[in-house]
Amino acid sequence: MKPLKVLQLLPALDSGGVERGTLEIARALVAAGHESVVLSKGGRLVEPLQREGSRHIMLDLGRKSPTTFLQYRALRRLFEVEHFDIVHARSRLPAWVAWLAWRGMPESARPHFVTTVHGMHSVSRYSAIMCAGERVIAVSDTVRDYIRTHYPPARWPHLTDDRITVIPRGIDPAEFPRDYQPSSEWLVRFHAEFPRIGQRKVLTLPGRLTRLKGHHDFITLTGKLVADGLDVVGLIVGGDDPKRPGYAKEIRERVQAEGLGERIVFTGHRSDVREIYAISDCVLSLSSTPESFGRTVLEPLAMGRPVVGYAHGGVAEILAELFPQGAVAKGDVEGAARSIKHALTGLNATVGPSYRYLLDEMQSATLSLYSSLTGYPRQPRDNKGSDCS
């Protein structure tokens, strides 16, 4: 098979699941002898991307302005000059610009167009662009069902089941090894930075400070467990959302108002989340809306740490397969408290080894999809489904 030239498009390369998945596929492409190119407005992950052998093109396709759509001309010129085999869009606005560039090219000269539906966006014509790929990757069964329900073939004739491929996200067991123990140096530094942890049982809620992640339920749970006599400390691991500073202020003020300043710690954004998982007695997933996948559930489970989470979306899929005793109904704070107590006392809290949701499987399946597309004719320009109307 001849080497492929693959372009992945996304708004930025700072942090997050979409960004991590982009780097993981870029790394796999390079390792397999293909040419990997990523287009974004940049960010702190550009340096590791380039260090690992991919090329980065700087172009801001994520700015929510009508003028962003005009970038399709520059993008079409890039397609014509670079002769990509695959263009893989991972976010809505970059996907729109890429599709506008792609549809104006002669069919014989077009790259193949792939999209990944990473999240369950509001159903709209704008969101429908993520279903316009010649192949549409869904990151979980939950996302596949969302696509089937809200973008049925009756309206989107091209979006038949054979166009949708479920490729779950995956983790590297070497990055999140079972029973991992942090170094003594790390432990000394971390406890010096956050002395309130002490010898208390550690509850961890990972995720950026956004309203959907369930921080208010976490505060309620921590307060309830303390009131029940448990010596716990809650770690909120994630940076503030720069677009919504008021929310971060709101939850910090609630922590102080309820007298939990010594029991809840805000760590901010961390690059040592593996070590934090390792010292956690229980990791929580309390999102108020269903997650498309649930990486922050899978990672600690792979390390053998118990997870208690609201069982909807991708989190429900992972818990049902790997740790069903950690699943509670959405919003069931009482049920979550009981499950946390079981985890803290070791009752029914053993996490078995996992052989599912592995990074190399995700990478292999994605590269196989790319390769299979190059054996098919390019999508006709007048395909009714690809205009997202």
* Predicted pLDDT at 273: 96
User: What is the arithmetic mean of pLDDT over 281-302?
Assistant: 94
What CA–CA distance (Å, rounded) separates 147 from 178?
Answer: 34
* Predicted pLDDT at 386: 43
What CA–CA distance (Å, rounded) separates 270 from 276?
Answer: 9
Q: How confident is the model at residue 348 (pLDDT cuts 50, 70, 90)?
A: confident
- Sign, CA dihedral 151-154-159-162, equals positive
Q: What is the 3-state secondary structure (H, E, C) of 160-190?
A: CHHHEEECCCCECCCCCCCCCCCCHHHHHHH
Residue range(s) occupied by CATH 3.40.50.2000 in the chain: 5-170+360-387, 184-345
pTM value is 0.86
User: What is the arithmetic mean of pLDDT over 115-137?
Assistant: 94
- Other residues' Cβ atoms within 10 Å of the Cβ of residue 336: 27
Write the CB contacts of 31 (distance below 8 Å, at least 6 apart in sequence).
none
Q: How confident is the model at residue 243 (pLDDT cuts 50, 70, 90)?
A: confident
Q: Residue 385: which of 140, 147, 70 has the closest Cα?
A: 147
What CA–CA distance (Å, rounded) separates 129 from 137?
Answer: 13
* Predicted pLDDT at 325: 94
Q: Which helix (H) or strand (E) holds 11?
A: none
Write the class of the CATH domain 184-345.
Answer: alpha beta
Indicate if the pLDDT at residue 150 is higher than 50: yes
349-381 per-residue burial string, b: 16 or more CB within 10 A, e: under 16: bebeebeebbbeebbeebbebbbebeeeebbee
Write the CB contacts of 199 (distance below 8 Å, at least 6 apart in sequence).
231
Indicate if the pLDDT at residue 352 is higher than 50: yes
Q: 5-170+360-387 in CATH: which number?
A: 3.40.50.2000
* Predicted pLDDT at 384: 38
What CA–CA distance (Å, rounded) separates 83 from 301?
Answer: 42
